[in-house]
Amino acid sequence: MDELKVFTGNANPGLARAICDYLNIPLGKCEVFSFSNENIFVRIMENVRQRDVFVAQPICSPVNQSLVELLIMLDALKRASAGRITAVVPYYGYGRTDKKDQPRVPITARLIADLLTVAGANRLLTVDLHAGQIQGFFNIPVDELTAQYLLRDYFLKKGLNSDLVVVATDIGISKRARDLATQLHVPLAIMEKRRLGNEDRTETLNVIGEVNKKVALTVDDEIDTAGSLTNTVNTLLERGVREVYACCTHPVFSGPAIQRIAASPVQEVVVTDTIPVNGSKRLDKITVLSIAPLLGEAIHRIHTGQSVGAMFEQ
Amino acid sequence: MDELKVFTGNANPGLARAICDYLNIPLGKCEVFSFSNENIFVRIMENVRQRDVFVAQPICSPVNQSLVELLIMLDALKRASAGRITAVVPYYGYGRTDKKDQPRVPITARLIADLLTVAGANRLLTVDLHAGQIQGFFNIPVDELTAQYLLRDYFLKKGLNSDLVVVATDIGISKRARDLATQLHVPLAIMEKRRLGNEDRTETLNVIGEVNKKVALTVDDEIDTAGSLTNTVNTLLERGVREVYACCTHPVFSGPAIQRIAASPVQEVVVTDTIPVNGSKRLDKITVLSIAPLLGEAIHRIHTGQSVGAMFEQ
Amino acid sequence: MDELKVFTGNANPGLARAICDYLNIPLGKCEVFSFSNENIFVRIMENVRQRDVFVAQPICSPVNQSLVELLIMLDALKRASAGRITAVVPYYGYGRTDKKDQPRVPITARLIADLLTVAGANRLLTVDLHAGQIQGFFNIPVDELTAQYLLRDYFLKKGLNSDLVVVATDIGISKRARDLATQLHVPLAIMEKRRLGNEDRTETLNVIGEVNKKVALTVDDEIDTAGSLTNTVNTLLERGVREVYACCTHPVFSGPAIQRIAASPVQEVVVTDTIPVNGSKRLDKITVLSIAPLLGEAIHRIHTGQSVGAMFEQ
Amino acid sequence: MDELKVFTGNANPGLARAICDYLNIPLGKCEVFSFSNENIFVRIMENVRQRDVFVAQPICSPVNQSLVELLIMLDALKRASAGRITAVVPYYGYGRTDKKDQPRVPITARLIADLLTVAGANRLLTVDLHAGQIQGFFNIPVDELTAQYLLRDYFLKKGLNSDLVVVATDIGISKRARDLATQLHVPLAIMEKRRLGNEDRTETLNVIGEVNKKVALTVDDEIDTAGSLTNTVNTLLERGVREVYACCTHPVFSGPAIQRIAASPVQEVVVTDTIPVNGSKRLDKITVLSIAPLLGEAIHRIHTGQSVGAMFEQ
Amino acid sequence: MDELKVFTGNANPGLARAICDYLNIPLGKCEVFSFSNENIFVRIMENVRQRDVFVAQPICSPVNQSLVELLIMLDALKRASAGRITAVVPYYGYGRTDKKDQPRVPITARLIADLLTVAGANRLLTVDLHAGQIQGFFNIPVDELTAQYLLRDYFLKKGLNSDLVVVATDIGISKRARDLATQLHVPLAIMEKRRLGNEDRTETLNVIGEVNKKVALTVDDEIDTAGSLTNTVNTLLERGVREVYACCTHPVFSGPAIQRIAASPVQEVVVTDTIPVNGSKRLDKITVLSIAPLLGEAIHRIHTGQSVGAMFEQ
Amino acid sequence: MDELKVFTGNANPGLARAICDYLNIPLGKCEVFSFSNENIFVRIMENVRQRDVFVAQPICSPVNQSLVELLIMLDALKRASAGRITAVVPYYGYGRTDKKDQPRVPITARLIADLLTVAGANRLLTVDLHAGQIQGFFNIPVDELTAQYLLRDYFLKKGLNSDLVVVATDIGISKRARDLATQLHVPLAIMEKRRLGNEDRTETLNVIGEVNKKVALTVDDEIDTAGSLTNTVNTLLERGVREVYACCTHPVFSGPAIQRIAASPVQEVVVTDTIPVNGSKRLDKITVLSIAPLLGEAIHRIHTGQSVGAMFEQ
């Protein structure tokens, strides 16, 4: 496999540049822009024949634009005779629509897998999928990295451990929370949303497990509107928690998220830069850890045929 | 094939309703909306098992949103066991990116064909593709309707024929213009954009063919920013044309289009409603002919196994 | 779609007969046997051209034999010009290998999906998948039924509700347990397996949530060796639980399972017959509810184009 | 990618040898012949494992024989474990059947794309497709070369430019003609075939644009029966053109073509050797420019991973 | 499935007409012709939407023309929205190239299967394949009819049985010969071609089995150049056979076949009309049995969902 | 292509080790085992990214277990980013189900081909397929080795040739027997099983060809229950044969095979180790020749791009 090249669309060019810095190569030259009629156009500005090409583009806001940009870039690279094309999708959007839990709904996370493949991706490199099963939506090789060790190390350094309890903000995230709790050697609690009765429309938030007088660290794969997060924080404080830290891999931060976080008594929200956190989103209490070295190292290993799994052997 | 059902996304619901009126059936019930995180969600609200389902959705502004909506609807219908799914795409966006005319660019119109097919479309029904060859981008059956007879009849009724010349606004559209000229039994002229010399960056617009003292009818498959149109109108008037009418199938009307048309001495711009022309776009000099009866009739014929080609036998 | 036909291999013929009884049709005639060299041979003994064919076969013990039998039956039916082939797989074996949670392991649940599809299945009908995402491993329509209402109704009738707590035997099953708890309007607790320290190889079983003096109902999608189940029962009793009931959909009952259940203080183990529970497995404390009416009704609805989802609207 | 190898069938072995001369390698050894029963048989006579293999074969007369030869060669090479197979198809036959312009006709140019792909081609290298969109009929990378600069340089050398007008022999070729006109910095005229009235079966040939007293250079992608060409020549001379030169890329020269050209007052017909022009076809007024250096250079660049597009940067 | 329609190309229109006579329907209207440039063009002249369409076309002389005609017809029918397309290929050309018995040769019989499938065939109906395994080259349903009973009945009627021996003209055909021998309750002999020594280039023809003073009936799937046949006849007569009859399903009759048969002491050659035997090929000693009723009956059964296998239950 | 690696499942690990010895490389590290619930689990224990991987696993007893093991290993290797995966299947089980010789039966040998391909095999390496056409069931490259020269050399060394006759144990194997007879320069005889009359259920075994007073060498591709073999031996001895040797490539030896061979007057049975012949199967009169050097050499040649066919040029 020849020379390594990394290209980016418009979804998170800063991350792509940081990856290239790690790899010590220049970012691949290409134009990715929209015409007046909103049609995205792509032109790869350097020869990619037989090259080992990586396209870094999370499927984040503007979500559908980012997705279609990525698909068109894959098509252009495929037709330009790239040797191997790896879609580097640090945030796999639509990941929450990964099963049919009611009649006649899509499984969009599988659809995305098929779209990426048909457009030309030969491999996927991604970070903390909403569900591990999404790997099985692909028949091309998938390398899934995790930000868990990054987050763990951050909190270990912070020295909160003695009184800490890891809290899953939802039943659905309890397995991932357990993994972090295990890593930190602290106990686990789980938030459970429940309607009280058949007629009652209001939901209560139960805390399953011991939290009183502890320091809580909530964990989730992503923070979207921050609604669950702020409800969790409030409930935990009511139950006697001393202070609450939050962490997640993907800072989606849509709609009222930033306002809610600003207003919430949460101590700190720690995220990574799989999705850019720019401008007015950069609150003091939001800490952004860079995922670029992890992605850069994985790309280096994929390119040179070294084990990616070995990066996470503890 | 069981019962016929027509669904729509958010790109042109008015057209879908008009199609259902023609067919005398209610519009299929479904929810198609975006969450706060911009993820589109689709829920089909009625049983579609074994039904003959049509999804009406042009790939028009917001282009990528419309496209992804359509793909997700197809996925939901496929997984809901629809008997046959026809994507009804009155305006096939990205149609102009149909070939590689420079190195390392995509063929997005082919990509779209693959995306629709992988998402679940069993057939395509469309109107006036940018190039007929786009039919060959599909391996599922395609029915392409044309608005040409609608436009012809409109201008025949108007009684402009004696002095008329049909004008292609560009070399690329000359074949379609010739067809309309033949239909109207009038001559043809062609606009040719050309840079004058090697160093010169300015383009001139040549008129190939006789236009002096005539009434001109420009024709195109779509009007995008209306730049070519207004240049053509000005050039024709300079060359002695008495008045200029314009027609096209698809009113893309992006960016400065409406302003330019308002300011242009063009007499009238006749379009169809493959793309909605709403609100401030509804200038007095813009006439919108409805494509709904054509689409409705085609859907009826597809559903009942009658010839669609026979609709256009003259 | 013509006449409905149901065939079965050797994995659970009793269930297939019960389904046919519900549907009031005879079981389809076919030979499915192994030669001396262990090669499975299949001969469909009646005409299936254009028929709507269902093959009922769980992927249960002998697991690989059952799987290959099913694949060969699908091939035979496809080549015999069956009109539509639905694989009815009440127990989807290999469902637990649904993601790569360590380097260089397979995603066998996805592989099975591809094998079924390439062999000729046009649809899948199944019950309580290990993870809902397995639906997304398929690009053919999947109807997933659930035994949850069957189990709920059984325990409602039993009248245990006042003091009941639903207990997930593992973090991974907590969402399904929550659903049953919600259905029964009782609280939820979750068992958490954890190694105590870095060097320590022994696991402790934590109970997250309140269980003291309650009656516990453990829930899981399947009971395999009954190891988790019996550990859970013991731990719950140590924590002050009065008595423990257990339920699951799929009675895998491999290895020491029956012995363990017989020896355990568990009150009753309620399962369905997606997998046959025969002979010496039929302990008094094991109650088998039949899934045949649910499967029969779903087949009837698939065949006649009625909603399957409507079966579960509450 | 290992060693480069070029094979040929029987359609244009002279061109393949010229390509090998350019590349300074021997032509690959293989037998391609027909048995008495007309079945084509292929035997590759040297090891091609992991080799970078090119098969040079235009789809020209005998058209269907050439096509099937090519397909069988691809199959043999695929099964012989060739590392990468590029179909080198200097003339892409059936290119004119590239859209459905009437009901129930094939899109044979797309069919050919699928046949080549299913037989084993990993890439296509071709010259001047009838329509650029044919590239989009493929999902494998396509490199399309153009003979335009070869033809331009020939006519620049000839020094005809002062009075020259480029004439498209048909509306359909007008874009390609415009490109050549732009290259030569001369104006453009377009021939338009038209039936005069509804009942009238005779066609007139209009000239759109100025041609009087000029020297005309007609351009087309191919010359088939030479009917359009000779009609164009006659009409142009009637309209006061002084002399007419003709050029095209592909000398199909079927049926009466050679006779017509011999009898026509056309000055010179300049073509390339994508299709062999042998024996009695070698009229004095027919000039054949060799495409072999272009194809050889492109093969060299594909093999070594250099840009093919850079060959045409002006 | 709607109305049944049968179309034909130019390979054996007489057979198609005879099939339609059996079915009592008119032959489907279509144009299948070649332009001057040898490009085949197809136009289906009647509506085929949702129809159950059969295309009758053996892959016989002109072999490659017949094959490409068939492929293009399939493409046209697929794009014309035919409901189901069955390729009716009474003689499956290239069937003898069904394995790699030397390095770097194609498996053309498999290639043909892929070509037919990719062009649009949903099913295959054929007669006496060269090897039964060719059915396995397809993943679409295949119905293979046999002319064996037709031939058996002809010879039973003739009353040759008392002294008869069936002779396989080659080791490769011995299984089929055995089947006919079994049907006729007569013994079997086998011709074996063998080179005598390592250096010796001449082949001897051994007869394995008893033939002296018998009447021989040679059997083969096809007679090509009639070389094996005439050698077999001569050898048998030398070994004391009294008279020789020959039969086969497919009268390929290429090259010197007719001359050889005319000159040979063979009594009679009995064939079917899967391939047309016209004009000068119609020797007195050649008897042609029509396969049309068998094909017509099979088409009727496929169309109405009846068993085709039941036609051959004895 | 990077480093060569050979892995094995549990079907014939001894052969895999012998292949690695030939290649002078260590056997690849992996775990392939079954859980208590019979689910096979695979873990590749060393990095295989970009490596040239071979998986050696015959589809032999336990047949379905071996098959599914192989499929799951292929899936794990594909997802682990192996560069190229060759399934090395010395014995291709289910090979006898290679055609539909009665209605509504599978073509399992084709199904197996599709299963291997969909699971991730890029190539197949195998030995003496039941029918050469099985190669055509694949669209990936297949290298088929033959044990014929191994067997020939063994018998040449033994010096039996003067009086030898090669005997096909069945009409179906006659071609392979002829090839061995040609190799040994001895005559051929063929066993023919036949029912005597219409009502008679008993089969007679005819010998076609001369065997009296000769030494017979029976040949088959595999010996399954040894029923045909022992019947053949008895019949040959009745017809005056002096002694009988037997050989085949694949020692399936199912059911009563070993007992029958032990009891039979056959002199010696010579086989290879494509299938392990262990423990009580190791009769004195059974000679096992190792196929490992042939497979090892072929793997070496595939890995280094050398001709495999050249291994068999005589």
Residues ≥6 apart with Cβ < 8 Å to B238: none
Which residues in chain E have their CB less than 8 angstroms from residue B139's CB?
A: 78
Burial classification of residue B157, based on how many CB atoms lie within 10 Å of its CB (0-12 exposed, 13-18 middle, 19 or more buried): exposed
**Residues F118 and F139: beta-carbon distance below 8 Å:** no
Average pLDDT over residues A64-69: 98
Between the alpha carbon of residue B110 and those of residues A71, A75, B99, D279, the distances in Å are 12, 9, 9, 42
pLDDT digits over E102-142, tens only? Answer: 999 999 999 999 999 999 999 999 999 999 999 999 999 99
Please give the helix or strand (H or E) that residue D125 lies within, else none: strand D123-127
Distance CA B142, CA B161 (A): 34
How far is E137 from F182, CA to CA, in rounded Å?
A: 30
SS3 call for C149 = helix
CA B90/CA B291 separation, integer angstroms: 9
Q: Which two tokens stand for residue C101?
A: 């949670």
Contacts of A117 (CB under 8 A, 6+ apart): A138, A139, A140
The mean per-residue pLDDT over the stretch E66-91 comes to: 98
C248 beta partners: C220
Tens digit of each residue's pLDDT (9 = 90 or more) over A126-171 = 999 999 999 999 999 999 999 999 999 999 999 887 799 999 998 8
Dist. CA E30–CA B308, nearest whole Å? 18
Q: Which subunits sit against F, judged by 3+ Cβ pairs under 8 A?
A: A, C, D, E
Q: Give the one of E139, E142, E305 whose C-beta lies nearest to C50's C-beta.
A: E305
Q: Which of D288-291's residues contact partners 24+ apart within 8 Å by CB, and which partners?
A: D288/D251, D289/D147, D289/D150, D289/D151, D289/D154, D290/D18, D291/D15, D291/D90, D291/D127, D291/D145, D291/D147, D291/D150
Read off the pLDDT of residues F278-305 as tens digits, 9 standing for 90 and up.
989 999 999 999 999 999 999 999 999 9
| Confidence tier at D202 by pLDDT (50, 70, 90) | low
Q: Do A123 and F81 touch (CB under 8 A)?
A: yes
- Indicate if the pLDDT at residue A117 is higher than 80: yes
The residue count for chain E:
314
Domains in chain C, CATH or no CATH each: 4-146+292-312 (3.40.50.2020), 148-289 (3.40.50.2020)
> Is residue A17 predicted with pLDDT exceeding 70?
yes
Strand partners for B42: B32
In 3D, which of E21, E81, E60, E118 has the Cα closest to residue E252?
E60
Distance from CA of A73 to the nearest CA of B (A): 7
Cis peptide before A265 (omega within 30 of 0): no
The pLDDT assigned to B194 comes to 78
Q: What ipTM does this complex have?
A: 0.95
Active site residue D213: no
Would strands E164-168 and E188-195 be described as parallel, antiparallel, or unpaired?
parallel
For C104: left if phi > 0, alpha if psi spans -120 to 50, otherwise beta; the answer is left
Measured between its terminal Cα atoms, the distance across chain F in Å is 30
Q: List the Cα angle F13/F18/F23 in 5-degree steps.
A: 125
Give the H or E element holding residue B227.
helix B227-238
d(C-alpha D240, C-alpha B85), whole Å: 58
Q: Alpha carbon C47 to chain centroid distance? A: 31
**Residue pair A194/A206 in contact by the 8 Å Cβ criterion:** yes
Whether pLDDT at F196 is above 60: no
Cross-chain residue pair F123–D81, CB shorter than 8 Å: yes
Cis check: omega of the bond before E103, within 30 degrees of 0: no
Identify the pLDDT of residue F18.
98
**DSSP structure string for C103-141:** TT---HHHHHHHHHHHHT-SEEEEES-SSGGGGGG-SS-
Tokens 């892959």 found at: E59
Task: State pLDDT tens for residues B166-187.
Answer: 999 988 888 899 999 988 989 9
Q: What is the mean pLDDT of residues D233-249?
A: 96
Single out the catalytic residue among C193, C213, C214, C285.
C193
Q: Do D129 and D87 touch, CB atoms closer than 8 A? A: no
Count how many residues are written for chain A.
314
Task: Write out pLDDT tens, residues E140-151.
Answer: 999 999 999 999
Identify whether the C-beta of residue E190 lies closer than 8 Å to the C-beta of residue F174: yes
Residues pairing with C275 in the sheet: none
Bin C173: left if φ > 0, else alpha if -120 < ψ < 50, else beta: alpha
Confidence of residue A199 (pLDDT cuts 50, 70, 90): low
Percent of residues, chain B, with pLDDT higher than 70: 97
In angstroms, rounded to a whole number, what is the distance separating the alpha carbons of residues F58 and F13?
Answer: 10
Neighbours of B32 (CB within 10 A): 21
**Number of alpha carbons in the 13 Å side-chain half-sphere of residue F61:** 16
- Beta-carbon contacts below 8 Å between C and E: 25
The tens place of each residue's pLDDT in chain B, 314 residues long, gives 579 999 999 999 999 999 999 999 999 999 999 999 999 999 999 999 999 999 999 999 999 999 999 999 999 999 999 999 999 999 999 999 999 999 999 999 999 999 999 999 999 999 999 999 999 999 999 999 999 999 999 999 998 877 999 999 988 888 899 999 988 989 999 998 876 555 555 677 889 899 999 999 999 999 999 999 999 999 999 999 999 999 999 999 999 999 999 999 999 999 999 999 998 999 999 999 999 999 999 999 999 999 999 998 76
E119 interaction partners in chain D (CB closer than 8 Å): 111, 114-115
How does pLDDT run across B1-47, given as a tens digit for each residue? 579 999 999 999 999 999 999 999 999 999 999 999 999 999 999 99
- Cβ of B47 and C307 within 8 Å? yes
Categorize the per-residue pLDDT at F1 as very low, low, confident or very high, splitting at 50, 70 and 90: low
Token pair for residue B167? Answer: 């004008």
Q: How confident is the model at residue A31 (pLDDT cuts 50, 70, 90)?
A: very high
The residues of C whose Cβ lies within 8 A of any Cβ of A are 98-104, 107, 109-110, 114, 131-137, 139, 142, 144, 171-172, 174-175, 178, 182, 185, 187-190, 192, 194-195, 197-198, 206, 208-209, 307-310
* Cα–Cα distance measured from residue A243 to residue A267, given in angstroms and rounded to the nearest whole number: 7
Residue F57 tokens read as 């696993």
CA distances from residue E298 to E6, E86, E87, E155, E311 in whole angstroms, order as listed: 13, 11, 13, 24, 8
- Note the pTM of the prediction, 2 decimals: 0.96
Yes or no: say if A128 and C99 are a contact pair by the CB < 8 Å rule.
no
DSSP chain F: ---EEEEE-SS-HHHHHHHHHHHT-PPPPEEEEE-TTS-EEEEE-S--BT-EEEEE--S-SSHHHHHHHHHHHHHHHHHTTBSEEEEEESS-TTTT--S-SSTT---HHHHHHHHHHHHT-SEEEEES-SSGGGGGG-SS-EEEE-SHHHHHHHHHHHT-GGGEEEEESSGGGHHHHHHHHHHHT--EEEEEEEESSSS--PEEEEEES--TTPEEEEEEEEESSSHHHHHHHHHHHHTT-SEEEEEEEEE---TTHHHHHHHS---EEEEESSS---GGG--TTEEEE--HHHHHHHHHHHHHT--SGGGG--
Q: Which amino acid is at C4?
A: L
**Do the chains contact at E47 and B307, CB–CB below 8 Å?**
yes
Is E253 in contact with E207 (CB distance < 8 Å)?
no
Check: CB of residue A90 under 8 Å from CB of residue A108: no
pLDDT of residue A200: 56
Cβ contact E79:E53 at 8 Å: no
Q: What is the pLDDT of residue A312?
A: 87
E20 close to E12: Cβ distance less than 8 angstroms: no
Number of separate helices (H) and strands (E) present in chain E: 8, 14
Shortest CB distance from D141 goes to which of A2, A51, A79?
A: A79
Determine which one of D78, D158, D193, D213 is catalytic.
Answer: D193
DSSP state of B115: H
| C38–F61 C-beta distance less than 8 A | yes
> Looking at F157, F175, F193, F213, which residue is catalytic?
F193
Please name the residue of chain D whose CA is at the shortest distance from the CA of residue B186. Answer: D196
Verify cis geometry, omega within 30 degrees of 0, for the bond prior to C62. yes
Output b/e per residue, E243-278; b: 16+ Cβ within 10 A: bbbbbbbbbbbbbebbebbeebebbbbbbbbbbbbe
Q: Please state, in angstroms and rounded to a whole number, the distance separating the CA atoms of residues E215 and E240.
A: 9
**D40 to chain E: which residues are within 8 Å by CB?**
64, 108
Given an 8 Å threshold on Cβ–Cβ distance, is B141 in contact with E50? no
Report how far residue C56's alpha carbon sits from residue B233's, in angstroms, rounded to the nearest whole number. 70
Judged against a pLDDT cut of 70, whether residue F272 lies above it is answered with yes
Distance CA B15, CA D243 (A): 55
Cβ neighbour number for residue B294 with a 10 Å cutoff: 22
Mean pLDDT of chain F, nearest integer? 94
Q: What is the pLDDT of residue A206?
A: 86
Residues of chain C with pLDDT under 50: none
Interchain contact, C47 vs E306, CB within 8 Å: yes
Residue of E nearest to C46 (CA): E307
- Determine the distance in angstroms separating the CA of A238 from the nearest CA of chain B, rounded to an integer: 28
| Angle, CA D274 vertex, CA D272 and CA D278 arms, to 5° | 80
pLDDT for the residue C204: 76
> E286: which strand partners?
E269
From F32, F71, F88, F126, select the one nearest C71 (Cα to Cα): F71
Of the pLDDT bands very low, low, confident and very high (cuts 50, 70, 90), residue A198 is: low
In whole angstroms, what is the distance from residue E252 CA to residue E274 CA? 9
- What's the rounded Cα separation, in Å, for the pair F250 and F130? 10
Number of CB atoms found within 10 A of residue B213's CB = 11
Q: Which of C4, C84, C308 to mutate to test the interface with B (most CBs of B within 10 A)?
A: C308
